A and B are shown apart, each in its own frame.
Chain A
Amino acid sequence: MSETLISARGLTKRYGDFTAVDAIDFDVAKGESFGLLGPNGAGKSTTMRIIAATSQRTSGTITILGRDPEEHGPQIRAHLGVVPQQDNLDTELTVSENLFIYGRYFGLGKKFIRNKIYELLEFAQLEEKRDVKVDTLSGGMKRRLTIARALVSEPDILMLDEPTTGLDPQARHILWDRLFRLKEIGVTLVITTHFMDEAEQLCDRLVVMDKGKIMAEGSPLELIKTHSTKEVLEVRFGSDRNKEIAPSLRAICSRMEELPDRILMYVEDGEALLEEILNRKLHPTTSLVRRSSLEDVFLRLTGRTLIE
């Protein structure tokens, strides 16, 4: 087991009567890509802010690089690169000025930062945009710049809160590719997301969060193995008939989830089950056999879908 960078026990955050984070335990190892997966309001961002030493816990313990953020906030923040959910780039400055001044906030030398800027612009694929104001950048470019900015201080841990929310598919893939490179060179990543594909792509290990609690923990594959079946058969009979047909389906499949628009059937062999359904003359309007995903894990654990 490699060095533990972040360790939380019974971590709790309350705002008045509302418990945003409810006694959670987790550890993040050096070089690991750790994910917090859950719907909006699950407590992911609050957890991130506590790790980033910009929010104080109500109870429990947490150490980041062996230190308590309550006593060593600035020292912990010096180790971190933070990519917030909403871009907060300096709109009055250009791309390279944004990188420069952010380094200055850490107290870094001008020469060091100027050299670093070349490297970061190349990484973010923004060389041609270095002297333009950030307002003119596309959403994907802004995100890449925010990530580059977080890297200016050569952090030990990069914190990414919903890194691709609001981006189009192409911009997401470019961003994933960049983050994958960071992972390859051993940067520890902590990522929150409500996209299961993102969690599957980027996270070595993740916790599934719902209503402030951790519901499950493991690698994407482990989670799917433990909490779901190998395959999923999705059938649709039209929204009126779904309810009517469900009981007869239950007879041939022990695990089902009925969603408003479709029925999910969890089995080892989806094709065989579909054949069985057709043999019984229950003709679905559409059917699809697919592998289980983290979405199914979440559905299994909470009875709800990730994106509502």
Chain B
Amino acid sequence: MSNAVAIADARANRTGHQIYAGRARAIIERSLIALRSSTWVPVATGFVEPVLYLLAFGYGMGELIGNVTLGDRAVDYTVFIAPGLLAASAMNGAIYDSTWNVFFKLNESKLYQGMLATPLGPLDVALGEIVWALFRGLSYSIAFMLITAPLGLVPSWGALLAIPAAVLIAFGFASFGMAITSYFKTYQQMGLINIALLPMFLFSGSLYPISVYPDWLELTIKLLPTWHGIELTRDIWFGIIDFSSLSHLSYFLVMIVLGLFFTTRRLRDLFMR
């Protein structure tokens, strides 16, 4: 198969061939080419943020706090916040590419319009862009792990499983982030994403257990993806895998599926109606 028509015809009888050409990797390939010539400054800033929190809160505030009780054991405060910050790294990375970059490609450079004039379908574009955003989340969390391990903040080998968890978290955030972005029309609306993210991160148990809140607030926080991400990573970090860890996992699976569904639908409505 060498020509465009034969390649497209080969898929003609598959279900969903109208929305998926099986080539999300072409979109990832595009991002890789673009990365070669992009500047590294914004890449670095997204990663540095959680590290700064670790230094300021862990080694600064941590000195005043000492230990935190987690279940029936006491852990050093810096160790306590490390997994939450790893989750934050994954979220930051995923959000970076799936929101502002997507907004630019949707509204300024009309990139998706060009892609969808080819045999590619909206799910190829959605999946390709989301997986790319996920890669950034993954690389941020690996880098974070590489910093925390020599500092003695990673309690066991099992904690390395936080990396696959970070992939799931990043996937969920990227998927949802792109879906929301695809419905936004103005820069003001996009600003809301940033405004929402910081408090979501700060108050979702990254720096202290949410049991300090009154019941209603605690329940509200438990609805947020940031809380599920932080809890999931912390469960793995300290090897406390139980039913609640599973609920966090499923939370992200649902988030991934919903995000992909709405992004695909929105792209189709925008460019193929």
Contact = CB atoms under 8 A, between A and B. Distances in A.
A107 B30 CA distance: 13
Interface residues of B, number: 35
Contacts of A154: 3-4
Given A54-B117, A72-B12, A88-B110, A106 B7 contact: yes
A90 B117 contact: no
Interface string A99-114: 0111011111100100
A181 to B, nearest CB: 21
Contact of B7 (A56, A101, A102, A108): A108
Nearest to A104: B26
Is chain A's interface secondary structure helix, strand, loop, or mixed overall?
loop
B30 to A, nearest CB: 5
A106 B33 contact: no
A239 interface: no
Contacts of A112: 2
Interface stretch (A2-10, A76-84, A219-227, A241-249): A76-84
B51 to A, nearest CB: 27
Contact of B271 (A54, A80, A100): A54
B126 to A, nearest CB: 14
A105 B112 CA distance: 11
B34 interface: yes
Nearest to A71: B18
Interface string B108-150: 0111011111111100000000000000000000000000000
Contact of A109 (B2, B30, B110, B117): B2
Contacts of B117: 52, 54, 77, 80, 82, 84
Nearest to B108: A91
Contact of B34 (A77, A89, A93): A93
A153 interface: yes
Nearest to B23: A107
B202 interface: no
Contacts of B8: 74-75, 77-78, 106-107
B217 to A, nearest CB: 43
B33 A75 contact: no
Contacts of B12: 72, 74-75
A218 interface: no
A55 interface: yes
Contacts of A100: 33
A84 B120 contact: no
A73 interface: yes
B179 interface: no
A78 B26 contact: no
Interface of B: 2-5, 7-9, 11-12, 17-18, 21, 23, 26, 29-30, 33-34, 37-38, 109-111, 113-121, 271-273
6 contacts: A74-B8, A78-B7, A89-B114, A91-B109, A97-B33, A104-B29
